[in-house]
């Protein structure tokens, strides 16, 4: 049986924190499906195509990582992709409280388990919103994001 995990998010853009969680997840699971959620209510800095390309490029040498886009509930996507796990990264106690509520809800609605990985200390301060703010103000994001995002500028 393949151990497959979905790593959902908006990845606007992917950060070194995301990269770390995906890389570590790939060592735990047979496949990690990075699932870019589409939310019509949200304003994104990068197009869906760019966000997908950034991740695909960052993991082009890792066959265990697949990148897809989706609408709707993550647990429905898990069923469709035959994934028994949702992978999430935790940076701080606020992330934990937020993610815990979602994980409990998902488990009540399905048999899908959420696996939490703590972010590495060196990336725990990075968020996509911080990266977007630095980019908007012309700052250097080279230490915050994979090279695939940096070359986009």
Looking at residue 129, what is its pLDDT?
A: 94
Q: What is the pLDDT of residues 99-131, one digit of tens each?
A: 999 999 999 999 899 999 999 999 999 999 999
Q: Binning pLDDT at 50, 70 and 90, where does residue 146 land?
A: very high
pLDDT at 62 over 60: yes
Q: What is the pLDDT of residues 13-52, one digit of tens each?
A: 999 999 999 999 999 999 999 999 998 788 999 999 999 9
Q: Let me know if 4 is a catalytic residue.
A: no
Instruction: Write down the mean pLDDT value for the chain.
Output: 94
Q: Let me know if 18 is a catalytic residue.
A: yes
Q: How many CA atoms lie within 13 A of 86 on its CB side?
A: 25
Looking at residue 152, what is its pLDDT?
A: 64
Q: In 52-109, which ranges are E strands?
A: 65-70, 85-90
Looking at residue 153, what is its pLDDT?
A: 53
Answer yes or no: is 74 a known binding residue: yes
The β-bridge partners of 116 are 88
Answer yes or no: is 54 a known binding residue: no
Which candidate in 4, 51, 52, 128 is catalytic? 128
Residues in the chain: 153
Percent of the chain beyond pLDDT 90? 90
Looking at residue 150, what is its pLDDT?
A: 86
Alpha-carbon gap, residue 104 to 97, rounded angstroms: 11
Tell me if residue 113 falls in helix, strand or coil.
strand
Which candidate in 42, 43, 136, 153 is catalytic? 42
Backbone phi, psi, residue 68, to 5°:
-135, 170
Q: What is the pLDDT of residues 73-105, one digit of tens each?
A: 999 999 999 999 999 999 989 999 999 999 999
Answer yes or no: is 42 a known binding residue: yes
Q: Let me know if 60 is a catalytic residue.
A: no
Q: Let me know if 148 is a catalytic residue.
A: no
- State pTM to two decimals: 0.94
Domains and CATH numbers, the chain: 4-137 (3.40.50.620)
């Amino acid at each position: 049986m393949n151990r497959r995990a979905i790593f959902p998010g908006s990845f606007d853009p992917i950060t070194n924190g995301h990269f770390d969680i995906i890389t570590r997840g790939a060592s735990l699971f047979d496949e990690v499906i990075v699932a870019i959620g589409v939310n019509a209510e949200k304003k994104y800095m990068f197009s869906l195509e760019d966000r997908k390309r950034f991740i695909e490029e960052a993991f082009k040498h890792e066959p265990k990582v697949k990148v897809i886009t989706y609408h709707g509930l993550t647990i429905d996507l898990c069923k469709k992709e035959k994934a028994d796990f949702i992978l999430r990264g935790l940076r701080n106690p606020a992330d934990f409280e937020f993610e815990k509520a979602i994980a409990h809800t998902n488990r009540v609605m399905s048999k899908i388990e959420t696996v939490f990985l703590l972010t590495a200390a060196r990336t725990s301060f990075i968020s996509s919103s911080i990266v977007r703010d630095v980019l908007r103000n012309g700052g250097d994001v080279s230490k915050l994001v994979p090279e695939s995002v940096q070359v986009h500028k």
